[in-house]
Amino acid sequence: MKSKGIVVKRILFWVVTLLVLAGILFPLLWIYLTAFKSSNDIFAGTLQRQLIFTPTLENFKRLFVQFPFFRSMGNSLIISISSTVLVMVIALPAAYSFARWNTGGGHILFNTIASRMFPGAVAAIPFFLIYRALHLLDTHIGLILLFMYFNVSFATFLLYGFFRDVPVELEQAAMIDGYGRFAIFRKIVLPLVLPGIATTSVFCLIWSWNEFLYSFLFTRNAAKTITVLISSFWGSIEVQYGTMAAGAAISILPTLIAAWFMQRYIIRGLTFGAVKG
């Protein structure tokens, strides 16, 4: 009976796993299929026409020729990478300070986390008025600062947990050996929390890359991101599904590539501190 129960649990595990994978991968598959379809194939009423069709590159040609795709792609790369780097520069020492010395008695950490507890739309109008007064609308630096504001609290909170899992005895031993505080942080603590840094960086990068609301409200042409450009394919007269799918198929790749190259650090980061002994 026990072995039968184990078999049933394994079957249920794989069934649930396959269902989850199908739910994640099917939309991606459909986007890439749509990107290579003609308009007639996209609006075909039969399932056979949806799955069996003659591939075409017309959607990609229209995307590259008729729209500033590469400029928007470059804007997204500059803004997301720059904001992520600056977020980590601020969040790393802040999280380490909170974890080691409880800076502010927990009040500063709570206020930092509390800044992410309200919906982003609540701050849209105040930020817009401030940015208009400072002439930061439709600028790269404007979006970089805005994404920093939203990601610093998240990154600080996430890194705080990773720093807390580093044994303080390691730092005390390094002090006995003559290391200063900065040398301990750079040579001992940072290598130990590298998986956490990678995990936090990827999350911040993905959030910045996919952000739409503020990019839509605060940009026009010069700093328009890829998400805003793709949304413009949805017009009042028609929806350019093929072009939209082509843009989405390409815009997905940078975050997938970043996650792929850092997957071993991300896996270690997600399980960091899970085993105590």
SS3 letters for the chain? CHHHHHHHHHHHHHHHHHHHHHHHHHHHHHHHHHHCCCHHHHCCCCHHHHHCCCCCCHHHHHHHHHCCHHHHHHHHHHHHHHHHHHHHHHHHHHHHHHHHHCHHHHHHHHHHHHCCCCCHHHHHHHHHHHHHHHCCCCCHHHHHHHHHHHHHHHHHHHHHHHHHCCCHHHHHHHHHCCCCHHHHHHHHHHHHCHHHHHHHHHHHHHHHHHCCHHHHHHCCCCCCCHHHHHHCCECCCCECHHHHHHHHHHHHHHHHHHHHHCHHHHHHHHCCCCCCC
**Each residue's pLDDT expressed in tens, for the chain with a length of 277 residues:** 567 778 888 889 899 999 999 998 899 999 999 999 988 888 887 766 677 888 999 999 999 999 999 999 999 999 999 999 999 999 999 999 998 888 877 788 888 788 777 788 888 999 999 999 999 999 999 999 999 999 999 999 999 988 988 888 888 888 888 888 888 888 889 988 988 898 899 999 999 999 999 999 999 899 999 999 999 888 767 889 999 999 999 999 988 888 787 777 766 666 654 444 4
> What's the CA gap between 238 and 209, in Å, rounded?
26
- Give Cα separations from 225 to 75, 133, 212, 217, 247 (angstroms): 6, 22, 8, 11, 12
Q: Is domain 67-270 given the CATH code 1.10.3720.10 in the classification?
A: yes
- Report helix angle 194-210 to 241-261, nearest 10: 170
Task: Supply the pTM of this predicted model.
Answer: 0.86
> What's the CA gap between 46 and 62, in Å, rounded?
26
Predicted local distance difference test score (pLDDT) of residue 195: 86
In the chain, where are the structural domains located?
A: 67-270
Predicted local distance difference test score (pLDDT) of residue 67: 92
> What's the CA gap between 96 and 88, in Å, rounded?
12
Residues 6+ apart with CB under 8 A from 96: 159, 163, 185, 189
